[in-house]
């Protein structure tokens, strides 16, 4: 509780493009960002020598800029390539790490590219069906109505 009593404590902190409560630990706050999982957030904390259990509300704006820079350009801080979420990019062939809106936009472009290729995955995306090989015979029937139609009762006997 003594950590939250500092003068520069903020209740809500903007981490990349996400608002996070200032009482959240630094490690968990970094995992809230789209495209950043536990391992990547842990690597960012290790590289920047941050206290993982410290509160995100105590971080200064300068440190926040450094965290954001590290999350956007992890290769510059020597984070290993196997932690990145877009290795061997189709367009450039280099290892990248995308976060927040960039990740969503790139995912939409990839799906559009698969549809344009008319490959199996693209066709499944186009049809709105399961893409990754799940079984469809018994499960995943939401939205389809199956049942028995009954005869209408007539007024005469």
| CATH number (domain holding residue 7) | 1.10.8.50
* Residue 14 bridge partners (DSSP): 19
Please indicate, yes or no, if residue 149 is contained in any of the structural domains: no
Q: Which of 69-73, 103-107, 130-134, 142-146 has the lowest mean pLDDT?
A: 142-146
Does 11 fall in a domain?
yes
Global pTM value? 0.76
Q: Are residues 37 and 75 located together in one domain of the fold?
A: yes
Do residue 76 and residue 12 come from a single domain? yes
How open is the CA angle 95-98-100, to the nearest 5 degrees? 175
Nearest CA among 42, 40, 13, 49 for reference residue 103: 40
84, 43 Cβ separation under 8 angstroms: no
Please give the tally of structural domains in the chain. 2
- The pLDDT score that the predictor gives to residue 82 is 93
Q: Are residues 77 and 111 in the same domain?
A: no
- Nearest CA among 78, 76, 66, 70 for reference residue 99: 70
Looking at the structure, do residues 120 and 49 belong to the same domain, yes or no? no
- pLDDT one-digit tens code per residue, 108-126: 999 999 999 999 999 999 9
78 shares a domain with 106: no
Which phi and psi angles does 119 have, rounded to 5°?
A: -80, 175
53 near 25, Cβ under 8 Å? yes
**Full residue range of the structural domain in which residue 112 is found:** 100-131
Q: What letter would DSSP give residue 12?
A: E
For residue range 60-90, list pLDDT tens digits in order: 999 999 999 999 999 899 999 999 988 998 8
Q: Which residue in this structure is represented by tokens 């995100």?
A: 56
pLDDT, tens digit, 9 for 90 and up, residues 4-32: 567 888 889 998 888 999 999 999 999 99
Confidence at 144, pLDDT banded by 50, 70, 90 = low
């Amino acid at each position: 509780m003594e950590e939250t009593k500092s003068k520069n404590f903020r209740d809500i902190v903007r981490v990349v493009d996400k608002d996070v409560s200032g009482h959240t630990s630094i490690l968990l706050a970094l995992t809230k960002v789209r495209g950043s999982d536990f391992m990547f957030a842990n690597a960012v904390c290790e590289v920047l020598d941050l206290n993982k259990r410290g509160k995100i509300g105590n971080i200064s704006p300068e440190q926040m800029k450094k965290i954001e820079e590290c999350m956007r350009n992890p290769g510059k801080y020597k984070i290993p390539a196997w932690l990145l979420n877009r290795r061997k990019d189709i367009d450039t062939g280099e290892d990248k790490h995308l976060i927040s809106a960039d990740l969503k936009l790139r995912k939409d472009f990839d799906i559009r590219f698969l549809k344009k290729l008319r490959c199996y995955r693209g066709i499944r995306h186009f049809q709105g069906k399961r893409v990754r090989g799940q079984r469809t015979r018994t499960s995943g029937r939401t939205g389809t109505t199956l049942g028995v139609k009954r005869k209408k009762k007539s007024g005469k006997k």
